[in-house]
Amino acid sequence: MKGNMEERAQQLALYIIEQNTTVRQAAKEFGISKSTVHKDLVERLPLFNRSLYLQAKAVLDQNKAQRHIRGGIATRRKYCDQTPPTTE
């Protein structure tokens, strides 16, 4: 999704707000890198649409606050789904 960066930034912000997604999920959906999503939202969007930026920032801040919990859940799934090694 190349082209107008302002339009892309707005579309990313709307997607993240409406779907309550993470940067990784938005990057996958739009076919761009996480770095590009982050740069569009944090550096470009505030320059031309401050209110949309603040709404997207609220979702990003919420995701940041919850990421350690998600990491713990993923680790638990990884190790609980495996059968424990036998000691014979």
- Which tens digits make up the pLDDT trace of 43-63? 999 999 999 999 999 999 998
Say whether pLDDT at 84 is over 70.
no
In the chain, where the domains are located: 5-80
Distance CA 52, CA 9 (A): 10
- Both tokens assigned to 19: 């779907």
Task: Determine the Cα–Cα distance for residues 52 and 86; give it in Å rounded to an integer.
Answer: 54
Who wins on pLDDT, 70 or 12?
12
Q: Rounded distance, CA 88 to CA 62, Å?
A: 47
